Amino acid sequence: MIRSERLPISLSAILIGILATAVPSPLMEPSSAQESQSSKISGGSDSSPTIPLVYKAEHTGEAYPAPVLPEFDELPVVRPLPDPFAWSDGSGRSTAFKDWSRRRSEIKAEIERYGIGEKPPKPSDITAEFENNTLRVSVTENGETLTLTARVDLPEGKGPFPAVIGIGRGSGSLPREIFSQRKIAMIAFNFNQVMAHQQNRGSEPINRLYPQLTHIGAYAAWPWGISRLIDGLELVDDDLPIDRQRLAVTGCSFAGKMALFAGALDERIALTIAQESGGGGAAAWRVSETLGNVETLGKTSHAWFLDDMFQFSGAVDKLPYDHHELMALVAPRALLVLGNPDYEWLADESGYVSCRAAHEVWKNFGVGDRFGFSIVADNPHCQLPDNQRPEVEAFVDKFLLGRTEVDTSVSKHPFESVEHEFWYDGWTKGTSSFPTLDGANVETLTFEAEAMNPGSDWQIKEDTKASGEKYVIINDGLNSTEAVPQNENSSLSISVTTTKDAKYYVHARVNCPTADDDSFWLKIDDSDFAAVNGLTTNGWQWVKLTTAVLKPGSHSIVIKHREDGAMLDQILVTTYPFGAEGLESTTSNFPALKDAVGQRFKIGVGVSHQVIGNPKDVTLLRRHFQIVTPENCMKPQGIHPEEHRWSFEQTDAFADFVRQSGLEMVGHCLVWAKDDRTDTWMMTEGDQPVSRETLLRRIETHTETVVKRYADVVTHWDVVNEAIGDSNDGLLRDSIYSRTTGIDFVVTAFETARANDPDALLIYNDYNGHQPGKREKLIEFLKQLKAAGAPVDAYGMQGHFELGDQSLSQLRETFDELRKLDIKIVVSELDIDVVKRGRWWSDDGKYREELRHYDPYEDGLPSNVEDEMVRQYVDLFELFDEYSESIARVSFWNLHDGQSWLNYFPWKRTNYPLLFDRNRNPKAAFHAVIDRL
């Protein structure tokens, strides 16, 4: 028999209007429309009969207004696991159950907004039938119909029967007899009828019904399909004897995630069993980020989530929620999480921490035994072992069969040494113990492997991507996987002096390309050697080797070879639990620069490609900046050394770092219009100067090749650099480019860049454009480019200022002129030279010999000089703020004082031109700029 549910259009409109204005009733006393088993299933001694086990509505909080959710740039950084009881608008928190429906609707909105996309609501046009053991549900929207079919295995008897919806098959990956022996019906969900495992966005079955939702991830689509099966069960109630108050859902691996999302997003499901769901399931993104080769946010499948979610891949601490809150959406209903730590990718250590945090929600409501987790090793993936079966049966017995005497207080795991409370004690106890790098509570010691006197069995080799460009590796053929090498030549010994009585974490920066060369032997002090295996990495990465509780004093760490392909760069010993990848600069107690700037303009920094290999630099960069410029590796001489030879390695690595960090990149630069910055091959044809046609063709080829390769990550291109002359002779600098083509080389470069990256900001970059003489040339140059059709979007003002240069009025005049031309402003290379360099070029260089020995601030910067620098930085940022509608970006040139080019140009001296000192600490100028912003 076919059953249908269609609301007349007029009635639908009335109901929508009522729901839009209705104020939901509190859930402290469940209403007849919501309550299912609150009194029938008490859940044991810690359960309250007033707390429902299941609801009759798919989403009881749908009438609450949606929270206002910020854009990515406006989101605050939250390092611990977010508080599941805190309102999204920051107005406070509530642990009262009467408020849980509202808070639950906010968490759901956050997950949909930032993680998976909108789960479509229940359609108004649904029909269902049950024949030949098959449930058939047809959903019609936008004139399109989607039909779901599910095989139903019914027990013998009259029913109604509890039921489990298994993903893929009726019992999921759990043994069928667990359900069949208990007379529980099994309903198989064919997820491919909704969306394929690796979706083709916009071309999946659900997209026919909802063409406006082509962006959604599979974990919005698949739970929608499961909810529609439950709708179908309601429609065929007379033909299919299912007790809809006792529904369960289960699946394993990616289907374990699916089961978890389904249970979280449909409150008609009484029991969710999420088996080995891993990253994107039970595991918390924040915790996974601190582990090894696990499924982190940046590594999970794009098909399953929103593409927009991956902007958090390098900034998971800006994600407003985490997956302990996904699990909490199931509360107060029942949830059992199953793990398998044999599979590193599943991130079960992260899942354990996340489960501990999520359990606090159930405990807060007095129903702690409705949540359990069991993480058991020594079994194949998605095959329930015998020693994990009792907890599954207990949850089934209590929450599907109503056997209230069954004990479901389950917390089985192998992670006794894992510290979990600091991730969430801020909202359970009111005071957070989350580790911070405040200089007093954390001790960190770093050692270069090649400097640790490795024995003669080790070789010291060079690699530009290694710290100090050197690493160590054992001689070929010296594998010793079965026993510790006894030869002293196999040792690399490290002497460590600690000052704390604390747990220390030993990490190493290694390059272990395969499972056959990814291990060492290691011991600390008088302990036995232990094998450290499974360190396989993708290039140079930090990995955790071991932990040890150490007393203050001297200690020794001895590393010996185990497999001959394992490369070792650095060793880090720290009391900070997150090791090198988690180390953040001591600015952690201060606002991030990018947060202070807000929406005024992008804040960026130019750095060497080598900086991205230093974890402390990386942490400082990620914390404070949004957009990164490669200092040298993308310049034409570096990336294109010969006409038919390219050198992409360094720039590729830089771009990969930017992608993985969720940052933006400046393409710097495509054409540098100076002969001494141009390779000979670009300037010549045979033994003659290059012809106009050939030069323009080469520029076009170079620009097209580079732009196409990096257009996905570059948002700003420095298309042409320093083409305007400094002398009074002519508009353009004398170069092979201007001599051969006039202004046409600039036009060609801009047109080619636009053709290959239509959405990027295209910039002409130069210095001293604020000074009156060069300003006049700059404005004329830009006018000519516009007249010639060159798509110039912005002028890149390099911004290399000298202390006290009184440039503000000149900058203002230049900014006003650029605004008249509708040209954006980019401050592309900002710093303030405190050791004035003007005399270097004056009087034909007569002072240069004197200046070569001039280093006035070698022992530190006098306070009066620093005060002047602070005032100048504040004045600059006041101006930038005033013109923020015209300014697209402000980028510092280098990350901290120790890396500044002004320590060496135009002569070697100790300089202090930036906001961070040589120890990466914020300077007075940083605080002053933050205060101004």
Q: Are 401 and 273 in contact (CB under 8 A)?
A: no
The rounded radius of gyration (Å) of the Cα atoms in the chain is 32
Q: Are 21 and 256 in contact (CB under 8 A)?
A: no
Burial class (CB in 10 A: 0-12, 13-18, 19+), 291: buried
The Cα–Cα gap between 494 and 458 comes to 15
Rounded to 5°, the CA angle 799-800-805 comes to 95
Q: Is 101 a catalytic residue?
A: no
The structure tokens listed for 13 are 């409109």
Q: Tell me the H-state helices in 536-683.
A: 579-582, 593-597, 615-624, 636-639, 649-660, 680-683
* Residue matched to tokens 């969430």: 424
Name residue 728's amino acid: N
The Cα–Cα gap between 830 and 608 comes to 15
Pick the catalytic residue: 25, 381, 432, 927?
381
Element of type H or E holding 391: helix 389-399
Alpha carbon dihedral 862, 863, 864, 870, in 10-degree steps, equals: 120
The Cα–Cα gap between 390 and 409 comes to 12
Burial class (CB in 10 A: 0-12, 13-18, 19+), 875: middle
Helix (H, G, I), strand (E, B) or coil at 107: helix
Burial class (CB in 10 A: 0-12, 13-18, 19+), 677: middle
Q: Are 663 and 716 in contact (CB under 8 A)?
A: no
In this structure, what are the phi and psi dihedrals at residue 655, rounded to the nearest 5 degrees?
Answer: -65, -40
Residue whose C-alpha is closest to residue 472's, from 456, 495, 496, 488: 456
Q: Are 571 and 540 in contact (CB under 8 A)?
A: no
- Sequence length of the chain is 933
Q: Are 836 and 854 in contact (CB under 8 A)?
A: no
Q: Is 359 a catalytic residue?
A: no
Pick the catalytic residue: 105, 253, 277, 350?
253
453: left (phi over 0), alpha (psi -120 to 50) or beta: left
Question: Before 906, cis peptide (omega within 30)?
Answer: yes
Residue whose C-alpha is closest to residue 472's, from 495, 494, 496, 453: 453
Alpha carbon dihedral 14, 19, 23, 27, in 10-degree steps, equals: 130
The Cα–Cα gap between 884 and 820 comes to 15
Q: Tell me 99's DSSP state.
A: G
**Catalytically annotated residues:** 253, 381
